[in-house]
Amino acid sequence: MQIWIVVAAYNEADRLEATLRDLLTTGPGHVDIVVVDDGSTDATGSVAARFPVWTLRHPINCGQGAAIRTGIAFALDRGADVIVTFDGDGQHDASDISGLVAPILERRADVVLGSRFLGRAIDMPTGRRLLLAAARWFTRLVARVAVTDPQNGLRAFSRNAAREIRIAQDGMAHAEEIVEQLPARRLRFCEAPVTVRYTPETLAKGQRSWNAIRIVGHLIAGRMIK
Amino acid sequence: MNGFQWIAETAIAAAVASEFVPRRHTLSLRVRALRVVILAAAAGAIARPDDVTRVAHVFGIGRGADIVLYVLALAFVALSFYFYTQQLRLRRDLSALASQMALKEARRGGTGLPGERSAGDRVS
Question: pLDDT, tens digit, for every residue of A151-167?
Answer: 999 999 999 999 999 99
Query: Do A149 and A113 form a contact (C-beta atoms < 8 A)?
Result: yes
> Which residues in A163-184 are b (16+ Cβ under 10 Å) and which e?
ebbebbbbbbbbbbbbbbbbee
Q: How many CB atoms lie within 10 A of CB A109?
A: 22
Minimal CA separation from A56 to chain B, in Å:
5
Closest-CA distance, B74 to chain A, in angstroms, reads: 18
What residues of chain B lie within 8 A of the CB of A63, using their CB?
95
Range of the domain at B13: 1-47
Residue A194 reports pLDDT greater than 80: yes
Note the pTM of the prediction, 2 decimals: 0.81
Confidence class for position B119, pLDDT limits 50, 70, 90: very low
User: Do A57 and B105 lie within an 8 Å CB cutoff?
Assistant: yes
Contacts of B105 in chain A (CB under 8 A): 56-57
Domain presence at residue B66: no
Query: Count of CB atoms within 10 A of residue A92's CB?
Result: 27
Would B15 be classed as within a structural domain?
yes
CB of B93 within 8 Å of a chain A CB? The answer is: no
Domain ranges of chain A: 3-224
* Statement: A3-224 belongs to CATH 3.10.450.50: no
A117 vs B84: CA distance, rounded Å: 35
Task: Tell me how many domains chain B contains.
Answer: 1
Question: What is the H or E stretch that residue A23 is in?
Answer: helix A13-26
Q: What is the ipTM of this complex?
A: 0.84
Subunit contact A53:B105, Cβ cutoff 8 A:
no
The reply to whether B29 touches chain A by the CB within 8 Å rule is no
**What digits encode the pLDDT tens for the residues A200-224?**
877 776 666 666 667 777 777 776 6
Q: Within a domain: residue B71?
A: no
